[in-house]
Amino acid sequence: MGELKAFLRYKRREVAHRPAEERIRDFAEFDLPLTPDEVRRQAARCMDCGIPFCHGAGCPLKNSIPDLNELVYKDRWQEACAYLHLTNNFPEITGRLCPALCEAACTLSVNDEPVLIRHIEYQIVEHGFAEEWIMPQPSAEKTGKRIAVVGSGPAGLAAAQQLARAGHDVAVFEKDARLGGMLRYGIPDFKLEKRIIDRRIEQMAAEGVKFQTGVNVGEDISARYLHKIFDCICLTMGARQPRDLAVPGRGYENILFALDYLTAQNKLYAAALTNGPGVITAKDKVVVVIGGGDTGSDCIGTARRQGAKKTYQLEILPKPPETRPPDTPWPMWPRIMRTSSSHEEGCERLWGVMTKNFSGHETRVGELHCCQVEWIRMGDNWRIRELPGTDFVIKADIVLLALGFLHVENEGLVKQLGLKLDEQGNVAARNFQSSEPWVFAAGDTVSGASLVASAINSGREAAAAIDQWLTKKGNPPICVAD
Ligand SMILES: Cc1cc2nc3c(=O)[nH]c(=O)nc-3n(C[C@H](O)[C@H](O)[C@H](O)COP(=O)(O)OP(=O)(O)OC[C@H]3O[C@@H](n4cnc5c(N)ncnc54)[C@H](O)[C@@H]3O)c2cc1C
Ligand code: SF4
């Protein structure tokens, strides 16, 4: 373990941000990383618990967190970097984006503040890139097996990298113009600058992964063609069917899905679009985001940077408590009030609010008609009840629907392949193999909308299942250190 009883000596130190007034003027990342000495002190706080819940119950990737903390504390950064890559292909992405389920499960968080695990992860990998310890690892031997990965989000990229390193020929097909899935087109630059994705893709290309962008599989090329050319395919197409709000007035042209709005901004920022017709901007507008989650919060941060006059975020659930409630005890992810950096930049948040209908003028929405609601428990279920006399109106120039995603888009390729779906409408899979044995699936396509860490892990596990199926040698999961 690191430093005995260091958790009694050192307090957790949060990562500072560029001031809100400064950062809303650009789309760049805003974390101000800690110094290496401070990171070592933070790593020293790890108690090296007998049962590390951070690793076992928290992290979807099962990162070996206490070992990483010890290596950082002992200034053995290169070993830490190699060790981290044993479980996580893209720690530079989880180190920026993960909600840090590990920290909620850290034993210190029972009665103190948890170890700063996510930032330590970020520091290890950025150290690795700066020192050029993270290099391409092409496989020494080729198996001659060919695999097509459909979709280049974190699940597809992780699966492709694992399979290429195991010696297979891998081609990634992506319908968008550029690679990365939600990382590229959903998540704003201020949370993840896109050069971070490009840096990894360069490594993967040097490892032999072939990328084909602008190819919608199922439309531009058929499933039959893929079956002829490849030994198997892995579907990592995400879960992109958005949940809609079927209330009167939904049809106004300035009521948009959150992902369409965020994608337009990300493309604009990447200069893939010119600032002409079709670009959605919130400049000088009142923006109302319906949906209180992270996607909604990303819309708030984006609207603020575009120069919105005012932003609201509406949530139908009641305001969560400030401290861990009994229904999500340690080491579970607690249902508590969270304030994101985008909220800090300025936003009015309303809870327990239902939108009953929209009204407007000609084609454009002008008002939301809302009311307060309460939630009543009926056995195992909850029922929503409108509170009489609480109706109110919010004026809006743009309404963004950030109500989550239902399941994989199951027209097109999924239908063409005739795959069985689960009750939620995702691709049904057993050990990542779908109802068609040559078709594997991973990431949000199987789990429904989830997190980047879960998608990477799913891609890795699917790669192990594919490798085992192709080579029939009963391999353990593939693990290759950087
Ligand atoms: C706005 C937003 C913010 C988020 N923020 C966070 C966050 O901060 N932290 C976090 O952990 N998670 C976050 N998430 C969730 C996270 O991004 C997803 O869980 C993750 O990206 C899922 O990865 P995936 O590889 O399964 O799918 P995706 O990232 O959705 O990638 C699927 C890819 O498949 C491609 N595709 C689909 N069909 C075809 C086809 N027929 N042919 C070719 N290509 C196809 C798509 O174009 C896409 O590129 C966020 C999600 C959104 C929408
Ligand atoms: S991937 Fe997420 S849960 Fe796992 S160690 Fe990193 S921050 Fe923690």
Question: Nearest ligand, CA of residue 156?
Answer: 1
* pLDDT, tens digit, 9 for 90 and up, residues 69-123: 999 999 999 999 999 999 999 999 999 999 999 999 999 999 999 999 999 999 9
Percent of the chain with pLDDT over 90: 90
pLDDT for the residue numbered 146: 98
- Would you tell me how many other CB atoms lie within 10 Å of the CB of residue 417? 23
How many angstroms separate the alpha carbon of residue 92 from the centre of ligand 2? Answer: 11
Strands, sheet with 398-401, edge to edge from the N-terminal-most edge strand: 255-257, 398-401, 286-290, 310-314, 348-350
Nearest to 232 by CA among 276, 187, 284, 169: 169
How many residues appear in the chain? 482
Closest CA to 442 of 455, 453, 452: 455
Token duo for residue 29? 């990342």
413 C-alpha to ligand 1 centroid (Å): 17
Nearest listed ligand to the Cα of residue 460: 1
Expressed in angstroms and rounded, the spacing between residue 399 Cα and the centre of ligand 2 is 33
Distance 295 CA to ligand 1 centre (A): 12
Q: Mapped to the 3 state alphabet, what secondary structure does the chain carry?
A: CCCCCHHHHCCCCCCEECCHHHHCCCCCCCEECCCHHHHHHHHHCCCCCCCCHHHHHHCCCCCCHHHHHHHHHCCCHHHHHHHHCCCCCCHHHHHHHCCCHHHHHCHHHHCCCCCCHHHHHHHHHHHHHHCCCCCCCCCCCCCCCEEEEECCCHHHHHHHHHHHHCCCEEEEEECCCCCCCHHHHCCCCCCCCCHHHHHHHHHHHHCCCEEEECCCECCCECHHHHHHHCCEEEECCCCCCECCCCCCCCCCCCEEEHHHHHHHHHHHHCCCCCCCCCCCCCCCCEEEEECCCHHHHHHHHHHHHHCCCEEEEECCCCCCCCCCCCCCCCCCCCCCCCCCHHHHCCCEEECCEEEEEEEEECCEEEEEEEEEEEEEEECCEEEEEECCCCCEEEECCEEEECCCECCCCCCCHHHHHCCCECCCCCECCECCECCCCCEEECCHHHHCCCCHHHHHHHHHHHHHHHHHHHHCCCCCCCCCCC
What pLDDT score was predicted for residue 346?
A: 94
Residue 413 pLDDT exceeds 50: yes
Q: Grade residue 472 by pLDDT with cuts at 50, 70 and 90.
A: confident
Structure tokens at 395: 């004026």
Instruction: Report the separation in Å between the CA atom of 242 and the middle of ligand 1, taken as the mean of its atom positions.
Output: 12
Question: What is the CB neighbour count within 10 angstroms for residue 245?
Answer: 16
Separation of alpha carbons 285 and 299, rounded Å: 13
Ligand 2 binding pocket includes 58 (Cβ within 6 Å):
yes
- Do strands 16-17 and 31-32 pair parallel, antiparallel, or not at all (unpaired)? antiparallel
Tokens 């049904």 correspond to 428
In this model, does residue 283 exceed pLDDT 70? yes
**Model pTM above 0.85:** yes
Residue 48: pLDDT band (50, 70, 90) is confident
Q: For residue 4, name the pLDDT band (cuts at 50, 70, 90).
A: confident
Region label for 434, one of left (φ > 0), alpha (ψ between -120 and 50) or beta (otherwise): beta
390 has a pLDDT exceeding 80: yes
Q: Which ligand is nearest to the CA of 412?
A: 1
Percent over 70 (pLDDT), the chain: 96
What is the reported pLDDT for 480? 46
Q: Distance of CA 102 to CAs 11, 31, 193, Å?
A: 18, 20, 24
What does the alpha-carbon distance between residue 68 and residue 82 come to, in Å, rounded to a whole number?
Answer: 10
Kindly give the number of the ligand 1 atom that is closest to the alpha carbon of 192. Answer: 8
Ligand nearest to the CA of 157: 1
Q: Is 470 in the pocket of ligand 2 (CB under 6 A)?
A: no
Position 479 pLDDT exceeds 70: no
Distance 214 CA to ligand 1 centre (A): 16
Report the pLDDT value the prediction gives residue 481, as an integer from 0 to 100.
Answer: 45
The predicted structure's pLDDT at residue 65: 97
Q: Sign of torsion, CA 468 474 476 480? A: negative
- 446 CA distance to ligand 2 middle (Å): 21
Asked whether 452 lines ligand 2 (CB < 6 A), one says no
CB of 453 closer than 6 angstroms to any ligand 2 atom = yes
Other Cβ atoms less than 10 A from the Cβ of 37: the count is 9
Q: Can you tell me the mean pLDDT for 377-384?
A: 91
Query: Which residue type sits at 347?
Result: C
Which residue, by CA, sits nearest to atom 6 of ligand 2? 118
- pLDDT surpassing 90 at residue 235: yes
- Ligand 1, atom 41, residue with closest C-alpha: 217
